[in-house]
Structure 1
Amino acid sequence: MSNQKIINIAVIAHVDAGKSTLVDALLKQGGAFRDNQEVVEQIMDSNDQERERGITIYSKNCAIEYKGTKINIVDTPGHADFSSEVERIMKTVDTVILLVDSSEGPMPQTRFVLSKALELGLNPILMINKIDKKDQRAEEVVEEVLELFMELDATDEQLNFTTLYGIAREGIAQLSLDEKGIDLSPMFETIIEQIGTYPIELADKPLKMQVSSLAYDSFIGRLGIGRIFEGKITEGQTVSVVKNNSEVKQAKISKLTVYQGLNKVNVKEAYAGDIITFAGIDHISIGDTINELNNINPMEPITIEEPTMSMNFLVNTSPFAGKVGKFVTSRNIKERLEKELEVNVGLKVKPLDNPTIEGFKVLGRGELHLSVLIEQMRREGFELAISKPEVIFKKGENGTLLEPMEKVILNIPTEYSGTVINKLNQRKGLMTDMDSDGVRDKIVYNIPLRALIGFRSEFTNDTHGEGIMVRSSNGFEAYKGEIESRKNGVLISMAAGKTLPYALNNLEERGILFVGPQVEVYDGMIVGQHSRDNDLEVNPTTGKKLTNTRASGSDDSVKLTPPKLMTLEEALEYIEWDELVEVTPEDIRLRKRWLSNTERRQHRNDNKKVFE
């Protein structure tokens, strides 16, 4: 590979602004595919969960070529829970394309990712996407983005950003709203003119590169991914690895690859400016610097914001434990979490304070961040029990208790606003802005993160599925006091066996059922939500007593209301501190922490702190 012209860019935006769709278009017009090749949409979202959820979870690299210049592209997540993926790759790029919806305007996550880019001195290129929308207001959105730049203390050079308008789905970009675009040429030209290629002369300096991401290959082991800032690197080269704690180790690069389209291509050497993947260093970590042997010049460590939420990952102790899962022991869970720590920098794992409980406290950036890990473990054959999500508090300078806050933007039909506002006020939320067009209201709240645990399902019900809620981290503030938790109790099975229609029919008047007929249950398993505020023990396995008498109509088949089947996220939001979510490769169940009635009575005065 020759020492060619290189530019590295990242595409950043809020969820659903069209990042992955734009990357698809860049790849197609950059010649990454054959003319007759079938290409799936959002091709960079290759992970199963990314496709199912319709979001980007992991940042990924690809490369295209335009007029002799290689352009490395990084597709980044747009959800706040995966912001650690965004933070660490910002240092590997020369600029960012900030994608903003022409109707929605800048959203909470837009602010976060933009602030990281501006802090590193990058000069973003703004693209107003989806200008074909009927309700597009592109000119107003540009003004809103400019205001956001000023709020984030952008420099004069950064404020003088180039604005493009386009339709990512059709692969179109244009320099003004009036002209008619035909392809993404204006974007390619803007990137090359505004940013310029990485200085080729830096390839003559001693090697300096930093690891920004990790991967794993079952044949060659751990892989390091990062950008070469200075010098060149050669396959088989012996290098110095400067760890984050300043320790220096020697290692040998055994394999070297660069990106070409969506593929990794083996090369003998790579030069300053390029993003590479290398093998051979089994102790490599994110933030480590690679230098030439005996020429130590470490870079600033990559700092990641602290986790804001924790859950306990416990060994499954239900009567159904081990029936379908392959990995069920504490050792299995520990090994899997240690493996995840190697590539998931936003995650932390700690031992539980109570040594009698088998499990680990796992800290992450939010419910979605942790639930994606749980879902992945479940698909790999793990069984485990998960505790209620808990926010992570911290102490202020004068000893005051601080808690994480969230900025929430709600877009809801006007008729449902009163209910939603009332509930957010009860949860210690503070309304900071409200706007209405007579049909839908846009409401902005500053609210404690713990107040939003369990709120999404309520919000969906209260707005009849028509409400939109987006949220992002908004720093720490003084503790807001107690917040009322779930108002309803639960229906607890007092027997083991298969549920029967006759029993479930009688239980429907008691509340909302979570199980249908012919479902295996056990003593202590939660089978529904009680219509009142107390827990109620029930027997969902009771059958109809048989007699010799037959009455007209009495033996008609029972018609049951379909049960409420919870997703993993809904189950985690729903439970209280004395309840657990049992996760297996086939089922998601809710259960009481103590299964028998006797145990529950013994522990009813316990404090949840015992189990943290």
Structure 2
Amino acid sequence: MRTSAPVSAHVRNLGILAHVDAGKTTLTERFLFLTGATHKRGEVHDGTTVTDFDPQERDRGITIFSAAVSCEWAGHRLNLIDTPGHVDFAGEVERALRVLDGAVAVFDGVAGVEPQSESVWRQADRHGVPRIAFVNKLDRAGADLDTAVASLRTRLGTVPLPVQLPLGREDAFTGVVDLIRMRAYEWPDGAAAGAGPVEGPVPEALREEAARRRRALDEQVAELHPEALEEFCATGALSERTLVAALRGLTLSGGATVVLCGSAYRNRGVEPLLDAVTAYLPAPADLPPVRPDRHPADPAAPFTALAFKVGVTPTGRMTYLRVYAGTLRKGDTVLDTASGRTERVARILRVQADRTTETALAGAGDIVAVVGPKTTRSGATLCAPGAPVTLEAPERAEPVVSVAVEARRGTDTERLAAGLARLAEEDPSLVVGTDPESGQTVLSGLGELHLEVTVEKLRRTHGLDVVVGRPRVAYRETVGRGVTGLTYRHVKQDGGAGQFAHVVIDVEPLAEPRGADPRGAGPLAESLGEEEHMADLVFRSAVVGGRVPPLFVRAVEAGCRDALAEGPLGGHRVTGVRVTLTDGSTHVKDSSELAFRAAGRFALREALRASEMTLLEPVAEVTVTVPEDAVGTVLGDLAARRGRVTGSTTRGGTAVLTATVPLAELFGYASRLRSRTQGRGTFTTRPAGYAPAG
């Protein structure tokens, strides 16, 4: 009888999430060093980090590709994924979040919640990933824990529960007071690397403040947790044991967020954060089963895993898996339910960023890479052939920017096609197509930087000299004013069995568009709300009396979805449409699903041509940070780019401007901003949906 890999309560699968430059990679490096996984602290500015191992990551100083590493802390194995913070690589974050059990959300102690940190927080909400928060960079000028915590409450809608009090401010920040154990931990300057904190009593000057905050923490937790409330009512306070148990319960349920603080760069506050990871974040067995018909993290159950990343290296193809149930052994045959093929697992690898070690098996709760599957794509389910199952794949964001690419030498055309196919296989956010008018190869992605990185990878990894066209944005079309009672009859007779379908449809906008800014200042980003711009079609049937059977109604809906691929204005995809099937009729012999699908497609095409259509363009929320003396120049430039300023704050001689700007107007903005602010201005963006093109 075969043995199974044990499932331990001492495993944590977690990710590090944050806005770009909040300190995710530095924190990961400190985790690896303090746990003994590395013997030297890597630094982003030196290009010596473990997880940012790709040459482009080291050149640019940002995380581009998610990287998996493992380490040990206090008897726990931590499987850690460092994720990108730049919005252009949100697809990497989405795929990582799909397989994580928990996360550490990192926030800048000066800026608090920033645009991309809010976006990844919402992604984690959607996947139900429990989180704890770490307010980083408290040694910076202007850093303030309370202000950052307030931004968590207002921007993210969570209940933040700070469990630490900083010792000192800004340059004088030396450690933290643990409000749970009421002890102080300091990391003195000049101490040996990895020496750990000096523990002692709470300083006299902070005892009253620490007691007040501990009392507030007890009260907040008691309000949120029934068992804690019972003890609080009986004794007027919470014991350490009850408080820790309640904080863990609130973290797992999403009822509140435990907040810690420190400075990863100066090695302050990292050990308590590691302790919090093991104390509050879930083990695989703590979470509900990935599907109701699968046992949670049971190594004896049928094998079930999700492929969340594919890497093509010079030595072969690696598929990264999160194992949810069962045990996988070297040489096993598994079923890829996405392709219907069986694949043999030749090797199982433990991954440490760009290094791997071979292992004989992987059990429920493990994150590993396998070599052997030849066609498995990101999002596919691998399972035991005798127990097929399909898990929900990570969502794939729609590309918003495209460029034409071609090989400079005609002899490299086939190599270019092969290289693009391989990159699209590794990154599902990339789409490769052909322009029907020019015949050029078109590469589409999530942003200008996303495409820059992809083209550079073609050059570096595949040795291709490519010519790149100007970036173009992905427009959409929507219905401004629809039509009612459009009738379409699909009748076809060619000697054999005929086709007959008769449908009557109403077409209207999914929501009433509010149009462009009447003052001519540019598009309104809120023209289409989040729910509206994400839905292409809402279809319903109002047919009575069974005049169109349910089977044919579904075929009409499928035909309508087919028709959304090309709109009447310029062949762009159609979005935000509501279609109602109001009537129709069938033929006793000639009606079929095929006929009604064709009728739905042609009917909606006719209806769209008869409707008043609106062209939509993607817009982005831009957050610009500049010196106060450059605000006027930056505002003028944003207005010239059809931007609309939505917010402005000032702190410490620095202004933070928020605006919605058409994505097409942001190409080249980085260099323009640097030139207009003498290199002192920075900006970040995040998608804000679609708005009527101005």
Q: Structure 1 residue 299 and structure 2 residue 299: aligned? A: no
More divergent stretch after superposition (452-461 vs 86-95): 452-461
More divergent stretch after superposition (131-140 vs 361-370): 131-140
CA contact (8 A) 2:132 2:257 kept: yes
Tell me, in whole angstroms, the C-alpha distance in 2 between the residues paired with 1:404 and 1:35.
44
Candidates 290, 301, 308, aligned match of 1:205: 301
Candidates 368, 379, 390, aligned match of 1:276: 368
CA contact (8 A) 2:68 2:352 kept: no
Go from structure 1 to structure 2 and tell me whether the alpha carbon gap of 1:381 and 1:201 turns closer, same or farther (over 3 Å shift): closer
Candidates 35, 38, 51, aligned match of 1:33: 38
Within a 5 Å distance, the mapping from 1:158-237 to structure 2 comes to 158-173=254-269, 184-199=270-285, 202-219=298-315, 221-237=316-332
Alignment partner of 2:262: what SS? strand
Tell me, in whole angstroms, the C-alpha distance in 2 between the residues paired with 1:353 and 1:237.
44
CA contact (8 A) 1:32 1:261 kept: no
Go from structure 1 to structure 2 and tell me whether the alpha carbon gap of 1:470 and 1:218 turns closer, same or farther (over 3 Å shift): closer
Q: Which residue of 1 aligns with 2:684?
A: 470
Q: Deviations over 1:226-273 (max 9, x none)?
A: 210111111111111111xxx422121111112368742211111111
Tell me, in whole angstroms, the C-alpha distance in 1 between the residues paired with 2:646 and 2:318.
46
- Unmatched runs of 5 consecutive residues or more in structure 2: 160-223, 225-249, 286-295, 479-575, 578-612
- CA drift at 1:67: 2.4
- CA drift at 1:434: 1.0
Q: Which residue of 2 aligns with 1:608?
A: none
Go from structure 1 to structure 2 and tell me whether the alpha carbon gap of 1:469 and 1:260 turns closer, same or farther (over 3 Å shift): closer
Tell me, in whole angstroms, the C-alpha distance in 1 between the residues paired with 2:652 and 2:51.
39
Go from structure 1 to structure 2 and tell me whether the alpha carbon gap of 1:391 and 1:214 turns closer, same or farther (over 3 Å shift): same
CA contact (8 A) 2:646 2:658 kept: yes
Within a 5 Å distance, the mapping from 1:529-540 to structure 2 comes to none
Alignment partner of 1:162: what SS? strand
Report the AA paired with residue 265 of structure 2.
R
Q: Which residue of 2 aligns with 1:531?
A: none
Candidates 420, 437, 447, aligned match of 2:661: 447
- CA drift at 1:423: 1.8
CA contact (8 A) 1:11 1:99 kept: yes
Alignment partner of 2:674: what SS? helix
Report the AA paired with residue 84 of structure 2.
P
Report the AA paired with residue 27 of structure 2.
L
Within a 5 Å distance, the mapping from 1:127-146 to structure 2 comes to 127-146=134-153
Within a 5 Å distance, the mapping from 1:303-382 to structure 2 comes to 303-316=395-408, 329-354=412-437, 357=439, 359-379=440-460, 380-382=462-464
Q: Which residue of 1 aligns with 2:53?
A: 46
Alignment length (residue pairs): 453
Report the AA paired with residue 82 of structure 1.
F
Report the AA paired with residue 86 of structure 2.
H
CA contact (8 A) 2:110 2:142 kept: yes
Q: Which residue of 2 aligns with 1:581?
A: none
Q: Deviations over 1:507-534 (max 9, x none)?
A: xxxxxxxxxxxxxxxxxxxxxxxxxxxx
Tell me, in whole angstroms, the C-alpha distance in 1 between the residues paired with 2:302 and 2:63.
36
- CA drift at 1:425: 1.3
TM-score, normalised relative to structure 2 = 0.62
Report the AA paired with residue 89 of structure 1.
A
Tell me, in whole angstroms, the C-alpha distance in 1 between the residues paired with 2:23 and 2:411.
40
Alignment partner of 1:118: what SS? helix
Tell me, in whole angstroms, the C-alpha distance in 2 between the residues paired with 1:441 and 1:256.
51
- Unmatched runs of 5 consecutive residues or more in structure 1: 174-183, 317-321, 482-612
CA contact (8 A) 2:648 2:658 kept: yes
Q: Which residue of 1 aligns with 2:97?
A: 90
Tell me, in whole angstroms, the C-alpha distance in 1 between the residues paired with 2:350 and 2:317.
16
Q: Structure 1 residue 402 and structure 2 residue 494: aligned? A: no
Go from structure 1 to structure 2 and tell me whether the alpha carbon gap of 1:431 and 1:151 turns closer, same or farther (over 3 Å shift): farther
Go from structure 1 to structure 2 and tell me whether the alpha carbon gap of 1:354 and 1:330 turns closer, same or farther (over 3 Å shift): farther
Q: Deviations over 1:461-504 (max 9, x none)?
A: 1111111211111122222x2xxxxxxxxxxxxxxxxxxxxxxx
Alignment partner of 1:203: what SS? coil
Q: Deviations over 1:15-60 (max 9, x none)?
A: 1111110000000111112489999742211111111100011000
Q: Which residue of 2 aligns with 1:19?
A: 24
Report the AA paired with residue 365 of structure 1.
L
Tell me, in whole angstroms, the C-alpha distance in 1 between the residues paired with 2:657 and 2:42.
45
Go from structure 1 to structure 2 and tell me whether the alpha carbon gap of 1:201 and 1:425 turns closer, same or farther (over 3 Å shift): closer
Tell me, in whole angstroms, the C-alpha distance in 2 between the residues paired with 1:110 and 1:350.
32
Tell me, in whole angstroms, the C-alpha distance in 1 between the residues paired with 2:16 and 2:475.
33
Report the AA paired with residue 197 of structure 1.
A
Report the AA paired with residue 212 of structure 1.
F
Tell me, in whole angstroms, the C-alpha distance in 2 between the residues paired with 1:164 and 1:368.
32
Candidates 73, 79, 83, aligned match of 1:66: 73
Q: Which residue of 1 aligns with 2:645?
A: 431
Q: Which residue of 2 aligns with 1:459?
A: 673
Report the AA paired with residue 223 of structure 1.
M
Go from structure 1 to structure 2 and tell me whether the alpha carbon gap of 1:151 and 1:353 turns closer, same or farther (over 3 Å shift): farther
CA contact (8 A) 2:7 2:365 kept: no
CA contact (8 A) 1:408 1:469 kept: yes
Tell me, in whole angstroms, the C-alpha distance in 1 between the residues paired with 2:351 and 2:630.
49
Go from structure 1 to structure 2 and tell me whether the alpha carbon gap of 1:136 and 1:253 turns closer, same or farther (over 3 Å shift): same
Q: Deviations over 1:173-216 (max 9, x none)?
A: 2xxxxxxxxxx332122112212322286222211100000112
Tell me, in whole angstroms, the C-alpha distance in 2 between the residues paired with 1:237 and 1:376.
34
CA contact (8 A) 2:332 2:345 kept: yes
Higher-helix-fraction structure: 2
Q: Which residue of 1 aligns with 2:356?
A: 264
Go from structure 1 to structure 2 and tell me whether the alpha carbon gap of 1:169 and 1:151 turns closer, same or farther (over 3 Å shift): closer
- CA drift at 1:82: 0.8
Q: Structure 1 residue 240 and structure 2 residue 454: aligned? A: no
Go from structure 1 to structure 2 and tell me whether the alpha carbon gap of 1:205 and 1:349 turns closer, same or farther (over 3 Å shift): same
Tell me, in whole angstroms, the C-alpha distance in 1 between the residues paired with 2:321 and 2:451.
25
- CA drift at 1:433: 0.6
- CA drift at 1:411: 1.4
- CA drift at 1:360: 0.4
CA contact (8 A) 1:3 1:270 kept: no
Alignment partner of 2:684: what SS? strand
Go from structure 1 to structure 2 and tell me whether the alpha carbon gap of 1:98 and 1:31 turns closer, same or farther (over 3 Å shift): same
CA RMSD of superposed structures (Å): 2.4
- CA drift at 1:122: 1.4
Q: Deviations over 1:536-558 (max 9, x none)?
A: xxxxxxxxxxxxxxxxxxxxxxx
Tell me, in whole angstroms, the C-alpha distance in 2 between the residues paired with 1:465 and 1:159.
43
CA contact (8 A) 2:297 2:324 kept: no
Alignment partner of 1:298: what SS? coil
- CA drift at 1:73: 0.5
- CA drift at 1:352: 2.0
Go from structure 1 to structure 2 and tell me whether the alpha carbon gap of 1:37 and 1:108 turns closer, same or farther (over 3 Å shift): closer
TM-score, normalised relative to structure 1 = 0.70
Tell me, in whole angstroms, the C-alpha distance in 2 between the residues paired with 1:93 and 1:136.
30
